[in-house]
Structure 1
Amino acid sequence: MNLQRSLLAALFTVSCGLATASPPPAMGNGAMAPPAENPAPDSPARLIVSRDEEGLNACTVDLYVQNQMAAQIPPGEQVVLEVAAGDIALSVAQAGSALCKPDQAQVSVQSVLLQPGETRGYKVMQNASGFFLSPQIE
């Protein structure tokens, strides 16, 4: 009888221990993740655009933000831009050079809604229709 009570007490203690709250997850270096901040409404957003080195096209790509060329991205490189938060028009097109002809005919504009302080990543992709930006999942 005492053995049964001891076993029940041990099981109860173990199950109660499992129900306790766990601490918040730690970051890779052991520090706790900082709390999320509320950025000011006029804070810029950050746009990260990258390109694979193993892509089918070795030509540099032009990145357009609000229909203005913002950067050139060669294969294997990335750019980080601070942009005004809000509805942003993005597009990519093959840049012209000695070996590459500019490809403005197949440019498709993508609309992106960025919040103040938000960081969003995209990867330059290519299909039969031309270049486009694909959301990058971390």
Structure 2
Amino acid sequence: MRIRPLFLALGAAWTALAGAQTPVDYAVLIISRERLELPNACDVGLYLQDQLAARLVQGEAVSFNLPPGPLSIRLGTLGAGPCKPGIEQQMRQDLRLQAGQIRKYRLAQGTQGLYLIETPNP
């Protein structure tokens, strides 16, 4: 009957481990391309830290789990013909992410080019 106390001790240890919450060490970034905000047919390249991270088409959204800290984002058109990227300077937006944070943005276009608009979390 020595096995029963061992099982009880293991069960209590498992319950304690399962109840302990692991700290979140990343932030979530969600970027969507809604049809009304950006009506052109070109794909949009999303660059994180100057590296192409996603290609967004109309109606699509992407999400990233990223480390907390500063983040540089650039947007540009991708594709052939009129969508082919030119020599224009792509506008850069800088964000600061915090661990456990969820940030949502949508694409928009103005006279200066493509940019992100933050959307409120429900």
Q: TM-score range by the shorter chain?
A: 0.7 to 0.9
> Structure 1 segments of 4 or more deviating over 6 A?
none
TM-score (norm 1): 0.65
Cα distance, 1:39 vs structure 2: 3.2
Which structure has more relative contact order (CA 8 Å, sep 6+)? It is 2
Gaps of 5+ in 1: 1-36
79, 82, 89: which one pairs with 2:62?
79
Paired with 2:89 and 2:108, the residues of 1 have a C-alpha distance of: 13
TM-score (norm 2): 0.73
Structure 1 SS opposite 2:85: coil
Cα distance, 1:100 vs structure 2: 1.5
Identity of aligned residues (%): 34
Paired with 2:86 and 2:32, the residues of 1 have a C-alpha distance of: 19
Q: Which structure carries more helix by proportion?
A: 2
Structure 2 counterpart of 1:69:
52
Gaps of 5+ in 2: 1-20
Bigger CA radius of gyration: 1
Paired with 1:104 and 1:84, the residues of 2 have a C-alpha distance of: 31
Q: Which structure carries more strand by proportion?
A: 2
Please, what is the CA RMSD of the aligned residues?
A: 1.9
99, 109, 113: which one pairs with 1:126?
109
